[in-house]
Amino acid sequence: MITLKEVKTKKDLKAFVKFPFKLYKGSDYWVPPIISQEIKTFNEKENPVFNDAETTLFLAFKGNEIVGRIAAITNWLEVKNQNLKKMRFGWFDFIDDLEVSQMLLSKVEEIGKKKKLDFVEGPVGFSNLDKVGVMTEGFDSISSMITWYNHPYYIKHYESAGYQVEKSYSESRFPFENVKPEFFKKAQELIKRRYQLTPLKLTKTEEVMPYADKMFDLFNESYASLSSFVAINEIQKEYFKKKFISFINPEYIKFVVDKDDNMVGFAIVMPAFAKALQKMNGKLFPLGFRHIMNAKKHSKDVMFYLIGIHPDYQNKGVHAVIFNEYYETFKEKGIETCYRTPELEDNEAIHRIWKHFSPEVYKRRKTLRKDIA
């Protein structure tokens, strides 16, 4: 018999966060989250997303054993400002038992109906900077710190519950040796002169911070046209600066500004932390932080996390300026492989930017939807 329990205590929350450690024990490809950070994600006093969002967490039990979990999420900015009456869900993990998965999904649907929402979509997080999608291809490749890993059986559980594909994403990689500077070297010099643009050379985190708000503003502008986009507000900017910026090598953050110091382009690349996180197994102390710092300093793999160009400068080659800056940085550091985070498969603009590097798609993932109105 399967029973559901709403997470209300610290003990239950810790059990919610730690369930995947059991489900993926022994996996070479699953990447554990940092337990303390994952717990803070659901702390209404720590995470400012809860100013505009609600979540209810559930654990599924078979007897006394946890066999599944899910987060039911409502982002009221999305519902009210965009009139997108969507019930979100994420952090959805379960054993290969249809009764477990369908009971958890049914609970999310029940909440969505009570809130008079029109449909359910997941797996997604609270916002556009959270993890997204159930993986459908690439199970034999290591995951990353910013994506969910899942067993191959997951997709059949969605289909059995009547969910249909809503969005499709792909993740790709390419060896740094594929980067040929002749594709952007001359072009970026011309573009800088024509539009009076300057790439900033940053070597310290404190040099990044004065531009961070402008970066998030540009992120909002450059991604506004994508489906289901929810803008980052002022409180969230401060949260993300505190949570992420210090973990990123300042030389991996690239800004391009015009003659008036207005930001027209940015990109964020992170060292590949996956193997370090596997060694840490969810714990920062006593040795976990050392693994993170070692990866930050010595990792030969990097992950392109975000890239944004101001709408007025899109299709004008600003990405060539950014790529030239990264080429010089990566060459100096001996980078071997470049990875890209999940990108919408129908985002032709982003695919055109990367085509010269001959990327290989190595993972695919999807979000799925079910109408409930």
Asked if residue 355 has pLDDT above 90, the reply is no
Q: Domain 175-362 adopts which CATH fold?
A: Aminopeptidase (3.40.630)
Q: pLDDT tens-digit profile of 240-291?
A: 888 778 778 999 999 999 999 999 999 999 999 999 999 999 998 888 889 9
Give the model confidence (pLDDT) of 240-251 as tens digits: 888 778 778 999
Q: What is the pLDDT of residue 18?
A: 98
Fold of 2-171: Aminopeptidase (3.40.630)
Q: What is the C-alpha separation between 197 and 194, in angstroms, rounded?
A: 8
Q: Which two tokens stand for residue 346?
A: 């129908």
* Amino acid code (one letter) for 133: G
What does the pLDDT average to over 79-102? Answer: 95
**Distance from C-alpha of 348 to C-alpha of 57, rounded to nearest angstrom:** 36
Task: Delimit the CATH 3.40.630.30 region(s) of the chain.
Answer: 2-171, 175-362
More confident residue, 356 or 175: 175
Question: 3-class SS at 91?
Answer: strand
What is the mean pLDDT of the segment spanning 145-173? 97
Phi then psi for residue 206, to 5 deg, are -65, -20
